[in-house]
Structure 1
Amino acid sequence: FLLGLLYGDVTIPISEIFHPSGVYAYILLNIRLPTLTVAILIGAILSTSGAVLQMLLRNPLVDPYISGTASGGAFGAVLTYLLLMLNLPFSWIIYFQPFVAFFTATLATLITIMIGKKSGYLGLVIGGVLVSFIFSSLVTVILSVMSAKYPQIPPLTFWLLGDISVVGWFNAIILSLFAILLLYFSLS
């Protein structure tokens, strides 16, 4: 946490952490502190979601990659970019990218659960890996088509790995409310 406050495009002296002034105060209070707060909240939300997924599937080894959830979400996100690239009449779907990614992640998880119900414990794991491979293959095909057609567009591969952009306090407050709701419902 301390390193995140100190280092970035501008290195802040450690003496400025407790009594920031001038431009250091602005950077600390309006850029780095909200961004670190969001990073911590995202970690808490992801760990809670993983624990809930393990509890629902009654399998302590399940994670979003084994269940196909992560690759399903990546497929939905990349699919919206493909539709935007093709200039289809419904290219406005890019604005609903998080919802499309959530829908395809949920679909992938439900397919894994359906396979697991028919096949038992091992079927759940094998089905999840199968679903994950299918969606990952579709993501690779879409990324290949996009990079072949538009090589000047930066690859989405790094984007798929995750990024916490600079955010403000509004984002941190909204995310903290979501984290509180998630924690409440996961405990009940």
Structure 2
Amino acid sequence: MRPTDPDARVLARVADGDAAALTELYERYAGPLFTFLFRMAGDRGTAEEILQDTLLAVWRSAGTFQSRSRVSTWLFGVARRQAHNRLRGTPPPPAAEPYEQADRVPGPEELAVGGDWLQAALARLPRAQREVVVLSYLADLPHQDIAEVLGIPVGTVKSRLHLARTSLKEALHEQSV
């Protein structure tokens, strides 16, 4: 990465123990990371916990960033590893989280990324397809960055997206029928 990259400079400050720099990264990336984690975990509480685990891992490992990718790509990779560690061995997220009006109000992140039907459709996808859909459409990462985050070839990203889009179209069709 170029030394003028603002994210790389902020991450270098995190590596030097600057807590304000970690806050700055949080403010820049908490929304996209939360969206990714929410769609992977299936519920707000678990996604928030994984996001906190991610920030702790970033705090501890910022010095290992070697500028071979963009900071955003590296952050999504850290978040993905934290999610896999947390969700390993757990069943896929529920088709739709029930709403209990008295104590369950969707947060702004949830409202921004879709309703229950989307969560249900994403939950039906295999985890590998769900990851590429969320990283591509909700985190707005280019195919090359998704490939780096997931450690797979760009062609695999494209094929997983194709399969996922087909499944999501079927789910949308079922929803409208």
Give me the TM-score of the superposition, normalised by structure 1. Answer: 0.26
Name which structure has the greater RCO, CA cutoff 8 Å, separation 6+: 1
Give me the TM-score of the superposition, normalised by structure 2. Answer: 0.28
Larger radius of gyration: 1
